[in-house]
Amino acid sequence: MAHWQHRPEPAWQNFEFNQPYAKGLKRLKEEVLAKTDFDPAVLWQWGTMQAMAVIEVLKSCERLFGREGQQAVYEGLHRVGLDVGRQILKGTTKPAEMTEAEFISFYASVINRIAYASLEDPKIDSDNQVSFDILWCPHQDHYQAFDCRVQRYFVAGMIEAMREYSREHDFDVRFDSTIPAGAPTCHFTMWRTSDSASQSAWQDYTAAIDEKALQIARREAPPAETE
């Protein structure tokens, strides 16, 4: 059984979701993997090249255009994350007996295991909190710790898709540790928020990281030309 198909909770079997980018996935499985000697491991190398390119685009935009450049890249990645979240949830129905914590945890598993191609150990801690450890991430050997902020931009869109699906799903999320920063796993916690004003932990920390990135970019920016 593929790793993303297994969770021990009985409710997982009733969680409805769609595979993102289904058209290309179907072609890969039926026309490439099933009929050729294509090595799927090279997809990791290709994906790593794309990921490192995104980071370099972000850094270049910050150096050349400052906050406006950073915001432009953020908006692009946010739109992609929103689209992926919408693809996953489109046309699905949450079973009445499924708890909010189960739904949030299962949605996170689809993102972690499929969209992020990672190995995950999820937990439902309580009715108001879930958590998960990323045991292996495709980026962990080549990302610097600060590069993980790119994933925050994608996740912001995925959270928005979740809240579009149902306003009941008002959970916030935080990084507790990351592998690129030296931790054994990337640990995340998601918890139920009591009001809209408290749904800001993710955004607030992202803003702090973005400001630090702009400070670094200003130090690295080429000196202005003088006439």
Query: 77-102: per-residue pLDDT in tens?
Result: 999 999 999 999 999 999 999 999 99
Other beta carbons less than 10 A from residue 137's beta carbon: 21
Listed by start position, the domains of the chain span 20-219
Q: Return the pLDDT at 197.
A: 47
What are the distances in angstroms from CA 60 to CA 53, 214, 224, 225? 10, 11, 15, 18
What are the distances in angstroms from CA 62 to CA 55, 121, 175, 182, 224? 11, 35, 23, 26, 15
Q: Return the pLDDT at 201.
A: 75
- pTM to 2 decimal places: 0.91
Assign domain 20-219 to its CATH architecture.
Answer: 2-Layer Sandwich (3.30)
Return the residue matching tokens 């850094």. Answer: 59
For the stretch 128-157, pLDDT in tens is: 999 999 999 999 999 998 899 999 999 999
